[in-house]
Amino acid sequence: MDKKRKVYAPFSLTSEAGVAQTPVEGYIDVNQTVYPTVNTGNVNENGKWTGVRSDDVEFKGFSRDELIANGTAFLTPTGPNAADNFIDMSGFRSLFIAILPTGITGSGDVRVEAVMGPSNSESRFANLTPVNAGNPLRGALANSNAGSMSNLLLDSADGMFADVWNIYYIENNLAGQRLLQFKLTNNTGVEASFEFAYMRLI
């Protein structure tokens, strides 16, 4: 966008022209051009391109687990490709998870636990493999006792309503987790099906 504006100058135009008796100071026209820029990322200290992270705008990673017997645990998300079987929280601090149970009446309890995701040649924790897949994620949180390792997320019995999305916000506990899955246990008392989805936040 081109724009012309007046700016202060320590001399007047007539002074500049060599007329000695004119007063000093004045204003002159200056052409100013503004160019818009978009920051899509940068090259980091490792020499690798890193894009600018943004919140997921919609839920993703949809999974459906059919006819889970009472007392049975299962891992989610799962999908046809290796990348569909875990959540990559690199660059993200918080997330929403959504669970939709069907086949129960009213509401029922579901155990929700954050666990290490799958370990194979396509799923690594940075450059490490194998990892302790399917086991609880543990660590020392900022608000916990110093030096004490604990489960990063374990809700032993959360009451969920049937046939609606039950949405939960998880702040900071799972930030940066490279291989994240959730282990859900059907404790509703009956056989039920479950859908799962997630949305990450920076």
Q: What is the pTM of this model?
A: 0.73
Q: Tell me which fold the domain 54-201 belongs to.
A: Jelly Rolls (2.60.120)
What's residue 5's pLDDT? Answer: 65
- 192 membership: H or E segment, kind and range: strand 192-201
Measured between alpha carbons, how far is 133 from 120 in angstroms, rounded to an integer? 9
162-178 average pLDDT score: 93
Strand partners, 155: 112
Tell whether omega for the bond before 80 is within 30 degrees of 0, i.e. cis: no
Measured between alpha carbons, how far is 117 from 136 in angstroms, rounded to an integer? 10
The token pair that represents 110 in the structure block: 């579901």
Identify which has the larger pLDDT, 53 or 99.
99
What's residue 27's pLDDT? Answer: 62
Least confident of 22-31, 101-110, 129-138, 171-180: 22-31
Identify which has the larger pLDDT, 169 or 4.
169
What's residue 12's pLDDT? Answer: 52
Checking if the pLDDT of 43 tops 70, the result is yes
- Domain coordinates in residue numbering, the chain: 2-33, 54-201
Checking if the pLDDT of 23 tops 80, the result is no
Helices (H), the chain: 13-16
Identify which has the larger pLDDT, 38 or 174.
174
Checking if the pLDDT of 192 tops 70, the result is yes
69-96 average pLDDT score: 90
Measured between alpha carbons, how far is 125 from 118 in angstroms, rounded to an integer? 10
CB 151 within 8 A of CB 137: yes
Number of C-beta neighbours around residue 184 at 10 A:
24
- Per residue in 144-163, pLDDT (tens digit) is 666 678 888 899 888 999 99
Checking if the pLDDT of 105 tops 70, the result is yes
